[in-house]
A and B are shown apart, each in its own frame.
Chain A
Amino acid sequence: MAKGPATLTTRRRRLAVDLLLFLVLLALLAFLFLSSENPYLTEKQALKGTQAVSLYGPGKTLARAEYDSHIVYLLQDGNSYALCRLSRPDPLFWSNGYLDAVTNDPDYPMMPLINIDSLLVICNDPEIAQVELVYYIYGGGKDGGFHVLRQTEPLVENCWLFPCHGSLATGTIDDDGFLLRGYDANGALIHETAVPEVWTDFWDLTIPEAR
């Protein structure tokens, strides 16, 4: 007898094996993609994934701010506010971002939340119409010295966002402290947080006056 011929049944069987191998290939590719550092196809998926991996929410999105290299989302879930920073896709796919959150305590007039390159201030006093952020970069070459950032409009509702470009700024804010000032609609200072101890006790700095 001759070798088994390519009957329709044989061809169907071969095709079934090939299809099975194709499914295995698809599963492996899907696994590799989903296990990669950039496993999302869209910004929305990346936001949802970052929230899930941070166990945050779902809550609601209060605002979205775009920057050259990243996008910042302001989220709220009950009393908890979060800043979620998503890097722009590199080159096609999105990755999990960074989410930092704070539980708002209305006893404090201004609640801060520091993210990688921005600082959020939640104002609990409705009289506050302007917010000022003061920080000091020790050394730091041309960037050294006091920096005063002022916002006259909230990002949304009672949330004021200060984009602090560069890790030097946020690193400084995080490590050496900062000062917040809240002004009313007439420009009068109504709230001021304590001056960081390191400014006065170690560096003997003269703090910039309020307006």
Chain B
Amino acid sequence: MSALDTPRPAIEAFCKVVCGFIRFWPDHAAITAELTAHLEDHRDALLELRPGLTQEEAEEAAIQAMGDPETLGRALDESHSPRFGWFQILFRVSVRTSLVLLLLFFFLPMNFDNLANALNPPLYNDGTNAIIEAYDQTEILADYHPEDAVCYLDHYTFTVERVLVTPRPHTFTGEPTLRVSILLKAVNLDPRLCMPRVYNWLWTEDDLGNRYPAMDQYEAADVLYALYPEQTSTPQLYNTMGGPSLTTPFVTYYDLYVIDVDPDATQLTLRFDRYGNAQLSFHLSLKGGVENG
């Protein structure tokens, strides 16, 4: 079929013939729009150059200038490959549908409470939280963010975020002692490794030589003592306690506290050496001043 045989409205018919040779039909509308725009531009230019022409004649001339619609259609068919076109459509639909489903079923269920927690997380468990809530009515001996309290260990970066020292009567004797709250933060890049299992094995020691064991440390010593009471000294009750207060895929906070700390001590060392060698060690002043009041 040639352009001369094209019936009126000529441009529309020309586009229809061209599209007849293009197998990937979803692109027909775009191609028609492109060709129509091109032909209209050409027609308008002809009308400007040759004012004596009618609109129909100008359109015919523009169509003739475009050449054979079959040749044009076959050339466009090659550049609008159906395989690539359908793949692109399928790809787009799959990706967008999956994203919407993911957002609907996994991320939207995160309610406003979770969002609020993410923005302003509760970092302490009940015991220390009670002190924080009654901060103004509590005697605070020290409350500070220790400088350079950072330890890099395998996949983790551990930092001590806050040290809070308050007076507390001894658990058994009622004598004045200290309660030391330590906010420990662990950061990991691999979410599979969130919440490193250090709690219950973190213990402390003060600068006077007093030790404040962790719960699992005490229990391990107790098992050994039960088996070999004559060879082993009586295990010391645990004073370093606490556990995770906030766990996210990349950050874990531990609300740790040490009770019955010698009031004459000026420094406390937080350690993790569960497997023999010291892996974590933080030196924390007990006279660190009050920064957060």
Contacts and interface: CB of A to CB of B under 8 A. Distances in A.
Given A11-B88, A114-B223, A194-B228, A79 B276 contact: yes
Interface residues on B, range: 35 or more
Contacts of B79: 8
A198 to B, nearest CB: 9
B197 A54 contact: yes
A80 B275 contact: yes
Nearest to A177: B226
B229 interface: yes
29 contacts: A2-B33, A3-B33, A5-B30, A5-B33, A6-B30, A14-B88, A15-B88, A18-B88, A18-B91, A21-B99, A28-B102, A28-B106, A31-B191, A32-B102, A35-B194, A49-B193, A52-B154, A53-B192, A54-B197, A55-B196, A78-B276, A80-B275, A103-B275, A108-B224, A108-B227, A112-B223, A112-B224, A114-B223, A196-B226
Contacts of A111: 224
A108 B228 contact: yes
Contacts of A54: 196-197
B193 A103 contact: no
Contacts of B276: 78-80, 103
Interface string A12-31: 00110010011011001101
A193 B275 contact: no
Contact of A18 (B92, B192, B224): B92
A102 interface: yes
B115 interface: no
A112 B33 contact: no
A75 to B, nearest CB: 10
B92 A2 contact: no
A34 B31 contact: no
Interface string A104-145: 000110111010000000000000000000000000000000
Contacts of A177: 226
A53 B88 contact: no
Contacts of A53: 192-197
A167 B72 CA distance: 79
A72 B98 CA distance: 39
A7 B98 CA distance: 27
A55 B37 contact: no
B148 interface: no
B153 A1 contact: no
Contacts of A52: 154-155, 193
Interface in B71-119: 79-80, 88, 91-92, 95-96, 98-99, 102, 106
A111 B232 CA distance: 13
Interface string B252-277: 00000000000000000000101111
Q: Classify the secondary structure of B's interface with A.
A: helix
B275 A194 contact: no
A112 B220 CA distance: 9
Q: Classify the secondary structure of A's interface with B.
A: mixed
Contacts of B88: 11, 14-15, 18
Interface in A192-210: 193-194, 196-197
A32 B98 CA distance: 13
Rank and list the top 6 A-B pairs by shortest CB-CB distance, nearest first. A5-B34, A6-B30, A2-B37, A193-B227, A80-B275, A2-B33
A163 to B, nearest CB: 19
Contacts of A5: 30-31, 33-34, 37
Nearest to B273: A103
A55 B272 contact: yes
Interface string B6-37: 00000000000000000000010011011011
B190 interface: yes
Contacts of B224: 108, 111-112
